[in-house]
Structure 1
Amino acid sequence: MRDYFVYMLASDRHGTLYVGVTNDLVRRMAEHRDGLVNGFTERYGVTQLVWFETTPDIRAAIQREKTLKHWPRAWKIAAIEKLNPTWRDLYHDIVG
């Protein structure tokens, strides 16, 4: 069984936010951090992993990503601060 990850990145505390979904969070984060993902995250320097959740259901992960993308910014910030009040970069937690 595989896990899928819905995640939020930030450029800094209360900075630019990005919502994504992946089946390999460590790989995807390395791609974002190394500038290998062309587009929004590269353009705005959005590389800090500040929030994520897992699910075994790809359909649920995709739907959750779509839902989060439509949330008001204040709701996204509240979700981040509920689980990560200091906006610490969680990348080192997932790479072990």
Structure 2
Amino acid sequence: MHIVYILHSQKLNRFYIGYTTNLDLRLDFHLHDTQARKFTYKADDWTLFFSLACTSKNQALAIEKHIKAMKSKVYIENLAIYPEITSKLLNKYATSDC
């Protein structure tokens, strides 16, 4: 399964957007890994804010890129509030050649 996920840190008041095929393993990496060079090392309170299962790697990467390109906290917050946004994203990037 290909998943786009968004983490939120209350401490930093920031979001982190990523892609994975194993959400549990990836969350564990963000919460417990000690690599100081990674963005999520800056806080220890990351919580899963949003996740979206995609049908292909290409679709997931295209959606991840789209969300990052929006550069909007409001847009990210709206993803969790309005399910029609996620439906539109899945439809927009449904083709394998995204």
Asked whether the two chains share a fold, i.e. TM above 0.5, the reply is yes
Alignment of 1:5 with 2:30, yes or no, is no
Matched ranges for 1:7-86 at <5 A = 7-12=5-10, 15-36=13-34, 38-45=37-44, 47-71=46-70, 72-82=72-82
TM-score, reference length from structure 2: 0.71
| Offset of residue 24 of structure 1 | 0.5
Cα deviation per residue 1:28-59 (whole Å; 9 max; x = unaligned)? 00111113564111124462111001012000
Quick one: structure 1 residues 57 and 68, their matched pair in 2 at CA, closer, same or farther if it must change by over 3 Å? same
Quick one: structure 1 residues 46 and 58, their matched pair in 2 at CA, closer, same or farther if it must change by over 3 Å? farther
In our comparison, the structure showing a higher alpha carbon Rg is 2
**Aligned Cα RMSD in Å?**
2.3
Amino acid at match of 1:55: C
Unaligned runs of 5+ in 1: 84-96
Cα deviation per residue 1:48-79 (whole Å; 9 max; x = unaligned)? 11100101200000000000111222111111
Percent of matched pairs sharing the same residue: 21
Q: How many residues align?
A: 81
